[in-house]
Amino acid sequence: MSLPGRPEPRHLRGFRDLFGAALTSRRRMIDTLVSVYERYGFTALETPALEYVDVLGKFLPEADSPQGGIFAFRDENSDWVGLRYDLTAPLSRVIAEYPELPRPFRRYQVGPVFRAEKPGPGRYREFHQCDFDTVGSASPLADAEVCGILSDAMEALGIPRGSYIVRVSDRKVLNGILERAGVRSDDADPNRVLTVMRAIDKMDRISLPGVRDLLGAGRVDESGDPTRGARLTPAQIEAIVRYLEVSRSDRPAHLREIGSLVAGSAVGEEGVAELARIDECLAKVGYGVDRVVFDPTVVRGLAYYTGPVFEVELTFEVKDETGATRRFGSVAGGGRYDDLVERFLGQKLPATGGSIGVDRLLAALSVLAPAPAGRMPGSVMVLVLHPSLAGESFALAHELRTAGLAAEVFLGKGSLRNQMKYADDRGIRCVVLVGEDELKAGTVSVKDLQLGGELAREVQSRETWKRERPAQVTVPRADLIPTLRSMGTSSTR
RNA sequence: GCAGCCGUAGCUCAGUUGGCUAGAGCGCCUGACUGUGGAUCAGGAGGUCGAGGGUUCAAGUCCCCCCGGCUGUACCA
């Protein structure tokens, strides 16, 4: 679509250009999340988008090039560098690189991360995460705090209680269940445990019968694509299913049930004890099952989590363009990862935290509370009726800004008609006109474009439209600012 | 990665069994309207039909391949 020899303007798949309103609402969301994190005492951290690939932890055991999934290249010294795919790997690097940091180290971080994977609806290759982590604390209080923060964050964003839920599980409990059922990876299937966890993770999509198939022989989806199963014995499958069906509506009851299922497994009992402490803390501050539930189907990430794992799900349903019902599912997650800093320090350092997917959450919220189609509140444009009056308009715009209004002078070229249309297209709330008439009379004309647009619907004939000049007033110049304020302009955009 | 569907103006699409200069609606520009965004009317700009190759007298239409998009699925630190 471009001329020969000229580059075609285009952008990378899975990347986006974002304009005004989208960025404004993202910034607002981030501000809200940060205020919650700061209320819990976390401090800000920023790290580079680019890291050495071995720092990111993305080298395959016996390969000299990075694993797929990240954007990577060789730097001027031929070292592999790559764009970060999350904010946790850079955090673990910071912990190891600055041993003088006070521990527990508690930081939040917001920023873009990059993943070289297939984009989908609401899934991009560059997206923003908003993380908080406590590094250097093994206390379940830290985990309970993560649950509380995730819950508080959702409500601070205006998501009503009941429209979201924080789901919590513990990897140690799952390990205990597998241990008691005799499920382990071996030579016949070195990835068996991994396959089992993947199967459980799919619970929300394929439901229990599908999970059963994946624990056993495998299943074939509607496109005819086969997925290999974990090939467990019927008794093992039943043991896992019993765990997945444990009650979730009551945390103490859940603890009793899983407690009996893992009895005799040291790791399992340890996990139950952790969850019990979390429940105790949450109950003490009144976070009931309308905010945080224990749910064995939460697995997450599958790789580095070592203890409690968290997931925030939006529970309301929406209709998409085709009228089909859709759920947003997971918008945030987290968990305890006691091994992550070990690869730098050679010793375990307990850590736990959470991560909120800003862009995904933003997409969900735009459905829950669609942005009002109104104009930028408090925006004023001073039009230029004649080139010789441009200086007058320029000065007027400055005067408005000095008074705290968001005002600009029309900088393009074109007739008044064009200027009105431009202001309308831009979403400007009010326009100010100073022409010869006004100048002579010591007045200004002010038009409320929003109100005018509403009134225009009543007007049929061009003559009436012109004669009545809906939503427009001419006032003494001294009354300009009060007039604008009465029209609903404020000092912010 | 695998599978299925789809690529025609800025956008949404139509285009009969291959057949003159490829159409519509919306949007955009200009004018009716000399100082007014809406509405109405009139006119206008804009497409080597995703790229390349092949079959044919003739290809937007048929075949091959590549690229891109959508959907499902797998993977997801």
- Rounded CA–C1' distance between A421 and B43, in angstroms: 21
Residue A239: how many CA atoms within 13 Å on its side-chain side?
Answer: 19
- Residues A320-338 pLDDT 10s: 555 556 677 789 999 999 8
| A490 strand B contact, CB < 7 Å | no
Q: Which of A18-27, A177-186, A378-387, A473-482 has the lowest mean pLDDT?
A: A18-27
What are the phi and psi torsion angles at A24 (to 5°)?
-65, -45
Q: Is the CB of A304 under 7 A from strand B?
A: yes
| pLDDT score of A76 more than 50 | yes
Nucleotides of B under 7 A from a protein CB: 1-4, 28-31, 33-40, 48, 68-77
| A370, amino acid identity | P
Using alpha carbons only, give the angle A105, A109, A110 rounded to the nearest 5 degrees.
175
Arithmetic mean of pLDDT, A341-347:
89
Which residue type, as a one-letter code, is found at position A464? T
ipTM entry: 0.84
Q: Residue A253 is which amino acid?
A: A
Higher pLDDT, A185 or A421: A421
Q: Is the pLDDT of residue A61 over 50?
A: no
A459 touches strand B (CB under 7 A): yes
Helix, strand, coil percentages for chain A (3-state, nearest 5) = 40, 20, 40
Question: How far in angstroms lies nucleotide B62's C1' from the CA of residue A282?
Answer: 68
Please, how many CA atoms are within 13 Å of residue A370, restricted to the half-sphere of its CB? 4
Per-residue pLDDT tens over the stretch A236-250: 999 999 999 999 999
Q: Give the residue-averaged pLDDT of A465-480.
A: 87
Contact A168, A294 (CB under 8 A): yes
Q: Which residue is nearest to nucleotide B30 (CA to C1')?
A: A418
User: Is the per-residue pLDDT at A228 higher than 50?
Assistant: yes
Structure tokens at A473: 């007033």
pLDDT score, position A104: 95
Between CA A128 and CA A27 the distance in angstroms is 11
Q: Whole-model pTM?
A: 0.89
pLDDT value, residue A222: 60
Residue A4 (CA) to nucleotide B51 (C1'), in angstroms, measures 14
Whether the predicted pLDDT of A472 surpasses 80: yes
Task: State which residues between 59 and 118 of chain A bring their CB within 7 Å of strand B.
Answer: 67, 69-70, 85-86, 88-89, 115, 117-118
DSSP A150: H
Per-residue flag: A449 CB under 7 A of strand B: yes
Q: Is the CB of A470 under 7 A from strand B?
A: yes
| CA–CA dist A178, A194 (Å, integer) | 11
Band the pLDDT of A59: cuts 50, 70, 90: low
**pLDDT above 50: residue A493:** no
- pLDDT above 90: percentage of residues in chain A: 58
